[in-house]
Amino acid sequence: MQTYLVGGAVRDRLLGLPAGDRDFVVVGQTQDAMLACGFKPVGRDFPVFLHPRTGEEYALARTERKSGRGYRGFVVDADPSVTLEEDLGRRDFTINAIAEDDSGRLVDPFGGVRDIDARVLRHVGPAFAEDPLRVLRAARFMARFASRGFSVAPDTMALMRAMVDSGELAELVPERVWQELQRALMSQTPSAFVRTLRDCGALAVVLPEVDALYGVPQRADYHPEIDTGVHVELVCDMAASLAPGDALIGFAALTHDLGKALTPARVLPKHIGHESAGVAPLRALCDRLKVPAAHRQLAEIGCREHLNVHRLFELRDGTVHDLIARSDGFRQPGRIAQLALVCEADKRGRAGLAGCDYPQGPELLRLHAAALSVRGGDLADSGLAGPALGAALRDARIDAIARARAVARA
């Protein structure tokens, strides 16, 4: 059995990155032969097996032929005559089309090692254009590798633009778009995902609510970067720095300012009421991409409340309590820490302000802790019930917030 380590495991080793999952390709074998060797079949659309001892994935070498629109319109051929080079040739990028044999020898028919050294993301061949999902994969790889100096090859970017113009991205199912977006938000530089999609025209197709932010001006005294789209890029990268690998924080950061695209031109560069205005496009985006409830809920809280958190020191004690309650901070206490991170990313995601302090974050957590210290059971002997008990609990929590502030001022 001829087996080769392929894909990300080879690429990441050459980049000096920690090893992740290892995938193998098997040349010259049949499905029956794999089963006879004890491999467990798991592939639904093409022959993939799990090793009986290690559990690692082994796929038969295969080719793919376009048979329809979209990323599912392919006919797969896994005949034993398919060569390793033919299998590598169906892959997306040259950096993912490198194989390694048992002795450590690299098989690199498309110059992937050269492109790793040059920090270039380049498509393997013209078949790249047959799968519209690869446009999003290119953007997602840029989110992961832009910080290492990678850029998209000009000919690859031109091909991606042609794919967008063809209209095939409309064939992508929402779950796959969300999957790529989520993985990008968990990467080191999510802004590169957004920027790559915008450069090829795909952002207006898959995330039109975000694309609409570009070219929308903001007040330079608050936003030295001025352009709202640039601001969102900075906020996404700041969120990735504050909460590495956390797509919940990342998605809320990406969508917190969607309302600014709806500001009437006559009032620009001010954005009065953009927080509430942003809820409708956020919900539309979430409905379209079938965004999970946890991401949707935090994003809506961040969209609606971020200016209130920025003004925390000006808010009355009762207003602070109601902010926490609206954010579901009494039933789900973790929400407030998440909200504080989103707001800090917003404040520091501005040109020249990345290193600024954000005292509102720790203060919100401190006041939240004070309010949480008062529980309904503390009023059990009051004889109150129903709405009266709820009002008394609110008053007691507001008192706790006031006492916490008084201690800080003393």
What is the enclosing helix (H) or strand (E) of 298?
helix 293-310
Model-wide pTM > 0.95: no
Per-domain residue ranges for the chain? 1-121, 132-206, 211-374
Q: Are 159 and 92 in contact (CB under 8 A)?
A: no
Q: Are 334 and 356 in contact (CB under 8 A)?
A: no
Which tens digits make up the pLDDT trace of 161-208?
Answer: 999 999 999 989 999 999 999 999 999 999 999 999 999 999 999 999
Which tens digits make up the pLDDT trace of 112-166?
Answer: 999 999 999 999 999 899 899 999 999 999 999 999 999 999 999 999 999 999 9
Percent of the chain scoring above 90 in pLDDT:
80
Question: Between 3.50.50.60, 1.10.110.30, 3.30.70.2190, 3.40.50.300, what CATH number should domain 132-206 receive?
Answer: 1.10.110.30
Q: How is residue 107 annotated by DSSP?
A: E
Indicate the pairing of strand 74-77 with strand 99-100. Answer: unpaired
Distance CA 341, CA 329 (A): 14
Q: Count how many Cα atoms sit within 13 Å of the Cα of residue 401 in the half-sphere of its side chain.
A: 25
**Do 1-121 and 132-206 share a fold?**
no
Class of CATH domain 1-121? alpha beta
- The predicted structure's pLDDT at residue 408: 82
* The pLDDT of residue 44 is above 80: no
For 98, the 3-state DSSP assignment is coil
Secondary-structure breakdown of the chain: helix, strand, coil percentages, each rounded to the nearest 5: 55, 10, 35
Phi, psi of 98 (to 5 degrees): -115, 135
Q: How confident is the model at residue 12 (pLDDT cuts 50, 70, 90)?
A: very high
Distance CA 129, CA 125 (A): 8
For 181, the 3-state DSSP assignment is helix
Closest CA to 97 of 114, 80, 75: 114
For residue 26, list its beta bridge partners. Answer: 3, 60
Closest CA to 203 of 288, 296, 151, 136: 136
* The pLDDT of residue 66 is above 90: no
- The predicted structure's pLDDT at residue 384: 75
Which tens digits make up the pLDDT trace of 208-222?
Answer: 999 999 999 999 999
Q: Are 186 and 294 in contact (CB under 8 A)?
A: no
* The pLDDT of residue 39 is above 80: yes
Distance CA 102, CA 107 (A): 11
- The predicted structure's pLDDT at residue 234: 98
- The predicted structure's pLDDT at residue 14: 95
Distance CA 333, CA 297 (A): 14
